[in-house]
A and B are shown apart, each in its own frame.
Chain A
Amino acid sequence: MALYILKRLLAMVPTLLGVAVLIFLLLRVIPGDVVEARYLTQGSQFQSQELMDLERKKLGLDQPLWKQFGSWMSGLGRLDFGLSMWTASPITEEIKLRFALSLQVAIMASTIATLLAIPLGILAAVKQDSWVDYAVRVFSIAGLATPSFWLGTLMILAMLIIFKWVPPMVFTPLWVNPWDNLAQLIWPALAVGYRYCAVGTRMMRSTMLEVLREDYIRTARAKGLWLKLILTRHALKNAILPVLTVISMEFAFLLGGLVVTEQVFNLNGLGMLFVEAISHRDYTLTQALVMLVATFFLIVNFVVDIAYAWLDPRIRYR
């Protein structure tokens, strides 16, 4: 088992290297760089070429690509992301709070979604074609059809109009003031959690329906087990695996993919940072963000694989 985990972790290295090469080249293929971005936004297209070249030299952009890549890699090897090209402050500092915020929203949304999706999906499957099932289906189809940012806007409007209250607009870390923190983050978590929950519910319902038709469920019923035991012990363990995959991928996506919702709730999360970094052509920051999100994806994937092996004895560690 320990060997398996080690092997899997090592197998992440080539994937990450591939991602690194890809993002490195991709960034340099899009027209413009940080120097142009800065001076163009300042409206002074007439900056002297020398000055701009000087700036590029300071940032190391005049070096050959392999050298730039090499120094980035050696930094990564020391877990040092370097400085942001735009703000010139350490990237770790830039990302820290935003990562905490995004991670917290992702965790809260996933928790809400999972805790709702699993029982709802099971209920709908067990009561297939009854009014309960229809209600759950309407709930989840509506969730799929509702964009999170729109739901978020509605939530803010509703709170404003009905309660004359808006959630705090400035991020307070959980460890500073949990109450303010939750008062701000619970809403975006609910807004994205709804869609997420809808995806999970549909998946749970369909896999559960499939499992309930299996022969071993009939065997379990023939043994005279209680319905509750059949569902939790015999059916759920088989039906949960595909749901787990969907839920975890959605979770990983939440970390960096919430651009519009972050805007609606005025959150300074990773999604917004991504957009800023790219529009500033801030190579170092964009690269760091991509590597961070990619690593996160791989880790989530890895945890899911371990969970699979744990839930399904047919899967062997290799």
Chain B
Amino acid sequence: MATLLEVRNLKTSFLSAAGTVRAVDGVSWDVEAGETVALVGESGCGKSVSALSIMRLVAEPAGRIEGGEILYKGRDLLKLSEEEMRAVRGRDIAMIFQEPMTSLNPVLSIGRQLTEGLEIHMKMNPAQARARAIELLAMVGIPDPERRLAQYPHHFSGGMRQRMMIAMALACNPSLILADEPTTALDVTIQAQILELMRDLARRLGVAMLIITHNLGVVARYADRVNVMYAGRIIERARAGELYANPRHPYTLGLLRSVPRLDEPRRARLDPIEGQPPDLTRLPPGCSFAPRCTYRVERCTESAPPLAALGAEHCSACWEAQRLVRERAA
């Protein structure tokens, strides 16, 4: 399969009163056409900033993409003019946001919000756009779409709004959708429905997807590959099944122990990871997970481990990855 999006050594930081926040600190990952990739990590590790950097929507002037490349179909998005980038947004790459309650404009009708992208990117006339909007709402499982077009976001429940966001993202047949915690704000029962819907539509339409989540349970069922992020860096990457079976980083292991798994019988208790994520303005010189790590050795506090390949399609950034594997096997 062809590589659709390739992020190389991306660095995004924010200037704040406390200093420079290195929210994304040299990450590289890629998405192939039609594939679903997950970006997993605790709150504040830089997942949203990664996605916003792709869209070049990082809040300015505090936030700045400081370096790296974002190659979309071989074209570096960071080198595009603002107008060229605008044409990419919503057309080639679409985004779904976490907060369905605030991400839709309260004073514009559902129809208006669905059709405007179509009119701009696809040059549709109002009648064509309307027909397409009805089709989209039906596609995401909103009953009675024709009547719904005239309604406003406050008439919709959280789940419905997220369906609407999905419809909006799919409107112009993008080849990649960045979904930033699309279900975190929803009820558990609705979360599964929305994720199923996204997976089915992505498969049917051949859209690649980046799913951002802090829930490894989601990853197992819906992603092909997983990137685990910690304090602005990728610390482990593998195919979803492989990551579950053989985590090669203590942080991933900790994450797996801290979430209930849908594919396992209920365990007696969950172990949250001890300690807090580091302050991104003052990262320690060594591995940023070292202070919380039970596998820590002296070397960990001295130099940061690189993301090294440990086999086909599996890499981990841990000096003690081999020991971790041995101890788990024993």
- Enumerate chain A interface residues (CB-CB to B < 8 A): 129, 214-216, 218-226, 229, 233-234, 237-238, 311-314
Q: Give complex CA distance A313, B152 in Å.
A: 7
- A216 cross-chain contacts in B, Cβ below 8 A: 102-106
Contact residue among A129, A214, A223 (Cβ-Cβ distance under 8 Å from B116)? A223
**Are the C-beta atoms of B103 and A219 separated by less than 8 Å?**
yes
**Are the C-beta atoms of A223 and B117 separated by less than 8 Å?**
yes
**Are the C-beta atoms of A219 and B105 separated by less than 8 Å?**
yes
- The answer to whether B299 has its CB under 8 Å from any CB of chain A is no
Q: How far in angstroms is the closest Cβ of chain A from B194?
A: 17
**Are the C-beta atoms of B107 and A312 separated by less than 8 Å?**
yes
- B55 cross-chain contacts in A, Cβ below 8 A: 222
**Are the C-beta atoms of A222 and B90 separated by less than 8 Å?**
yes
Chain A to chain B contacts (Cβ below 8 Å), 25 pairs:
A215-B102, A216-B102, A216-B104, A218-B103, A219-B105, A220-B105, A221-B57, A222-B55, A222-B57, A222-B90, A223-B89, A223-B90, A223-B116, A224-B120, A224-B121, A225-B86, A225-B90, A225-B117, A225-B120, A233-B112, A234-B105, A234-B108, A237-B107, A238-B106, A311-B107
- A129 cross-chain contacts in B, Cβ below 8 A: 61
- B103 cross-chain contacts in A, Cβ below 8 A: 215-216, 218-219
Q: How far in angstroms is the closest Cβ of chain A from B168?
A: 7
A-B pairs with beta carbons under 8 A, tally: 77
- 9 closest A-B pairs by beta carbon, nearest first, are A224-B90, A224-B89, A223-B90, A215-B102, A216-B105, A222-B95, A313-B152, A215-B103, A223-B117
- A237 cross-chain contacts in B, Cβ below 8 A: 107-108
- B102 cross-chain contacts in A, Cβ below 8 A: 214-216
Q: Give complex CA distance A215, B86 in Å.
A: 18
Q: How far in angstroms is the closest Cβ of chain B from A132?
A: 15
- A220 cross-chain contacts in B, Cβ below 8 A: 105
One digit per residue, 1 when the CB lies within 8 angstroms of any chain A CB and 0 when it does not, for chain B 89-106 equals 111001101010011111
Please, which residue of chain B has its CB at the minimum distance from the CB of A314?
B154
Q: How far in angstroms is the closest Cβ of chain B from A229?
A: 7
- The answer to whether B310 has its CB under 8 Å from any CB of chain A is no
**Are the C-beta atoms of A218 and B120 separated by less than 8 Å?**
no
Q: How far in angstroms is the closest Cβ of chain B from A224?
A: 4
Given A215-B99, A222-B55, verify A233-B120 contact (CB < 8 Å): no
One digit per residue, 1 when the CB lies within 8 angstroms of any chain A CB and 0 when it does not, for chain B 101-136 equals 011111111001000110011000000000000000
Q: Give complex CA distance A311, B109 in Å.
A: 11
Q: Give complex CA distance A205, B167 in Å.
A: 33
Q: Give complex CA distance A172, B330 in Å.
A: 102
One digit per residue, 1 when the CB lies within 8 angstroms of any chain A CB and 0 when it does not, for chain B 71-102 equals 00000000000000011111100110101001
Given A218-B97, A313-B152, verify A226-B86 contact (CB < 8 Å): yes
Q: Give complex CA distance A220, B107 in Å.
A: 13
Q: How far in angstroms is the closest Cβ of chain B from A234?
A: 5
- B106 cross-chain contacts in A, Cβ below 8 A: 216, 238, 312-314
Q: How far in angstroms is the closest Cβ of chain A from B118?
A: 10
Query: 11 other contacts beyond A215-B103, A313-B107, A313-B152, with CB at 8 A cut-off?
Result: A216-B104, A219-B97, A219-B103, A221-B89, A223-B117, A224-B90, A225-B90, A229-B120, A237-B107, A238-B105, A314-B106
Please, which residue of chain A has its CB at the minimum distance from the CB of B104?
A216
- B168 cross-chain contacts in A, Cβ below 8 A: 219, 223
Q: How far in angstroms is the closest Cβ of chain A from B131?
A: 19
Please, which residue of chain A has its CB at the minimum distance from the CB of B94?
A222
Contact residue among A224, A226, A234 (Cβ-Cβ distance under 8 Å from B88)? A224
Q: How far in angstroms is the closest Cβ of chain B from A242?
A: 14
**Are the C-beta atoms of A314 and B152 separated by less than 8 Å?**
yes
- A215 cross-chain contacts in B, Cβ below 8 A: 97, 99, 102-103
Q: Give complex CA distance A276, B121 in Å.
A: 65
Q: Give complex CA distance A224, B97 in Å.
A: 15
Please, which residue of chain A has its CB at the minimum distance from the CB of B86?
A224
Q: How far in angstroms is the closest Cβ of chain A from B151?
A: 9
Q: How far in angstroms is the closest Cβ of chain A from B13?
A: 19
- B99 cross-chain contacts in A, Cβ below 8 A: 215
Q: How far in angstroms is the closest Cβ of chain B from A19?
A: 34
Q: How far in angstroms is the closest Cβ of chain A from B286?
A: 36
Given A215-B97, A215-B99, A237-B108, verify A222-B152 contact (CB < 8 Å): no
Q: Give complex CA distance A2, B134 in Å.
A: 32
Please, which residue of chain A has its CB at the minimum distance from the CB of B92?
A224
Q: Give complex CA distance A313, B106 in Å.
A: 8
Q: How far in angstroms is the closest Cβ of chain A from B62?
A: 11
**Are the C-beta atoms of A219 and B86 separated by less than 8 Å?**
no
Q: By CB atoms of chain B within 10 A, which of A221, A223, A229, A237 has the most?
A: A223
Q: Give complex CA distance A225, B121 in Å.
A: 9
Q: Give complex CA distance A129, B177 in Å.
A: 34
Q: How far in angstroms is the closest Cβ of chain B from A128?
A: 9
- A224 cross-chain contacts in B, Cβ below 8 A: 86-91, 117, 120-121
Please, which residue of chain A has its CB at the minimum distance from the CB of B55?
A222
Please, which residue of chain A has its CB at the minimum distance from the CB of B95?
A222
Please, which residue of chain B has its CB at the minimum distance from the CB of A128?
B61
Please, which residue of chain A has its CB at the minimum distance from the CB of B117?
A223
Q: Give complex CA distance A311, B112 in Å.
A: 14
- A314 cross-chain contacts in B, Cβ below 8 A: 106-107, 152, 154
Q: Give complex CA distance A230, B112 in Å.
A: 13
- B152 cross-chain contacts in A, Cβ below 8 A: 313-314
Q: How far in angstroms is the closest Cβ of chain A from B205?
A: 18
Q: How far in angstroms is the closest Cβ of chain B from A130?
A: 10
Q: How far in angstroms is the closest Cβ of chain B from A231?
A: 13
Q: Give complex CA distance A223, B171 in Å.
A: 10
Q: By CB atoms of chain A within 10 A, which of B55, B94, B106, B152 has the most?
A: B106
Q: How far in angstroms is the closest Cβ of chain A from B199?
A: 21
